[in-house]
Amino acid sequence: MKIWHKILVGPSVAILFLPAPGALSAGMMMRQATAMSELVKVRGVALEMAMASAQEVGDVHANVYRTFTGSTTRERRSSRPPPPSSASASTPCSAA
């Protein structure tokens, strides 16, 4: 066997056999893309529902908090004596 035959054997074998793993990889990537798109469709809907529920729960919680704090604020205001009106207070400028 001549030297140039020995030099060309390695690259020739690589050129002949590397397309097989490449084709296998491409096929696996297409299957993975299909599976991922299905996951996004199925789990995306569930995620949107969960996020909407969490938002609604947060809104309810905020409204209940506002209701409680508003009622206690009104109760505190009603138990205090009313502030003096500014019309009855005499100032040195108004007396002149």
pLDDT digits (tens, 9 = 90+) for 42-68: 888 899 999 999 999 999 999 999 888
Q: Is the predicted pLDDT of residue 74 greater than 90, yes or no?
A: no
pTM: 0.44
Summarised one tens digit per residue, pLDDT across range 40-49 is 888 888 999 9
Instruction: Look at residue 95 and give its three-state secondary structure.
Output: helix
**Over the chain, what is the mean pLDDT?**
82
The band of 82, judged by pLDDT with boundaries at 50, 70 and 90, is: low
d(CA 94, CA 44): 71
Q: Amino acid identity, residue 16? A: L
Q: Domain residues of the chain, as ranges?
A: 11-76
Write out the DSSP string of 33-71: HHHHHHHHHHHHHHHHHHHHHHHHHHHHHHHHHHHHHHH
